[in-house]
Amino acid sequence: MRSVLISNMRRVKRAVPVIENKVKVQIGFGRSSAHPKLRNKGARVGIITVKGNELNEFLVEKVLHAVDFGFDIDDALLLLNEDFVLEFIEVKEHTRRKNLKDVRSRIIGREGRARQTIEKLTGAAIVISGNDVGVIVDADHLAMTIQGIESLISGSKHGNVFGFLERQGSKINKMDEDLGLREGIGDRY
pLDDT at 41 over 90: no
CA distance 71 to 62: 11
Complete domains list, the chain, with CATH: 2-80 (3.30.1370), 84-177 (3.30.1370.10)
Residue-wise pLDDT tens digits, 94-122? 888 888 888 899 899 999 999 999 999 99
pTM for this predicted structure: 0.81
| Residue % of the chain over a pLDDT of 70 | 84
Of the given ranges (37-51, 75-89, 157-171), which has the lowest mean pLDDT?
Answer: 37-51
pLDDT at 183: 56
Q: What is the pLDDT of residue 9?
A: 87
In angstroms, the Cα distances linking 142 to 35, 80, 89 are: 34, 16, 12
